[in-house]
Amino acid sequence: MGPDRFAWITGFVDEAASDAREQIAVARRLGLSAVDVRTVDGKNVLQLTDDEARAYRELAESAGLAIQSVSSPVNKVPLTADNRGEENRKLRRAIELCGVFGTRRIRIFSPTALDQCREEDWPAVRDWMAEQVSMAKEADVVLLHENDARFYGAFPEGGRRLFEEFGSEHFRAAFDFANTVLIGFRPLRHWFPWLLPHLDTLHIKDAVESEGRVVPASEGDGQMVETLRWLATMGWDGPLTLEPHLAVAGKFGGFTGPELFEAATNTLRRTIAEALKGD
């Protein structure tokens, strides 16, 4: 395992700044490889016009940065028939934006039913997600399912069922350490190794379960050093995406500020070095 492993570091730079130019400036100064577009100038990515998206891409590329993903809020809703149609509309817009931004990745979720992963909800969840995976295949994009909050796929049992059913080049995982800790699970005990064949991206934030508090990489219960070390031994070398949530953590995003975002970036790099120590 070489020292350049885990070198592709990206970030939700709206956590560092709202203004588009400031977002790109922070990412460039910190040496990120790419940015994940969630909000720009206070607008959710799905609300951006094609011209606004194109201008943001030009800013990023002029700074030597790629666009990692369209980080949409698709499926962050209750499991109802009315919501399904609206989320499909959002996904269609996200697919259009992939073409403008020059990326194939769309961050999504799975709907929730009473904040649980229940057997009786699986048929409705399966039908809902099957339609969206079909849309992704037709458009040749990649849906990155994030295990957020208490949505169906946030639970290891629900996530495993989703990937056994839909896992493919068009439906892959964006695994978040803090999100699973906050609902009582651990990466190496509950998610790996079964998730490995489906893993595209790691979302980097940690958490202390007993306090319900988000903390920087490897400062909580997320087994981040151990997980990165294990993934390295397995040959995995995908994107590491900073999503620190160190100042504000909300349903549709978070905020960290430029100073704490820089600190989170430096902590991640120290975590990587610790995970690869001795290789």
With 0-12 / 13-18 / 19 or more C-beta atoms within 10 angstroms meaning exposed / middle / buried, residue 279 is exposed
- Residue 126, SS3? helix
Domain residues for the domain of 130 are 9-275
Q: Tokens for 167?
A: 């896992």
CA distances from 46 to 79, 93, 95 (A): 21, 6, 10
Look at residue 93 in the predicted model and tell me its pLDDT.
98
Contact 144, 108 (CB under 8 A): yes
What's the pLDDT band for 115 if we cut at 50, 70, 90? confident
Give the rounded distance of the alpha carbon of 19 from its chain centre: 21
The two tokens of residue 51 are 């011209």
In a domain, 1, yes or no: no
Look at residues 181, 122, 130, 188 and name the one whose alpha carbon lies nearest to residue 157. Answer: 122
Angle, helices 224-233 vs 258-275, to 10°: value is 50
The amino acid sitting at 188 is: L
pLDDT tens digits for range 194-210: 999 999 999 999 999 99
pLDDT score recorded for residue 1: 47
CATH number at residue 88: 3.20.20.150
Asked if residue 71 belongs to a domain, the reply is: yes
The HSE-up count of residue 124 (CA atoms within 13 Å, CB side) is: 16
Q: What is the pLDDT of residue 19?
A: 96
59 located within any domain: yes
Report phi then psi at 145, rounded to 5. Answer: -85, 120
Is residue 182 domain-resident?
A: yes
Mean pLDDT of 51-71: 98
Of 240, 153, 157, nearest in space to 194 by CA: 157
Q: Is residue 126 part of a domain?
A: yes
Q: How many structural domains compose the chain?
A: 1
Q: 248 in a domain, yes or no?
A: yes
Per cent of the chain over pLDDT 90 is 90
Q: What is the value of pTM for the model shown? A: 0.95
DSSP string, 102-119: T--EEEE---BBTTB--G
Mean pLDDT over each residue of the chain, to the nearest integer: 94
Cis geometry, peptide bond prior to residue 193 (ω within 30 degrees of 0):
yes
Mean pLDDT value across residues 111-132: 95
Nearest CA among 177, 172, 180 for reference residue 196: 172
Residue 4 forms part of a structural domain? no
Question: Which helix (H) or strand (E) is 82 found in, with range?
Answer: helix 81-101
How far apart (Å, rounded) are the C-alpha atoms in residues 13 and 38? Answer: 8
Q: Does residue 180 sit within a domain?
A: yes
Positive or negative CA dihedral for 91, 92, 95, 99?
Answer: negative
pLDDT above 80 for 271: yes
The pairing of strands 39-40 and 43-44 is antiparallel
Separate counts of helices (H) and strands (E) for the chain: 8, 14
Distant-in-sequence, close-in-space partners of 163: CB < 8 Å, separation ≥ 6: 145, 171, 173, 194, 195, 198
Closest CA to 169 of 208, 143, 132: 143
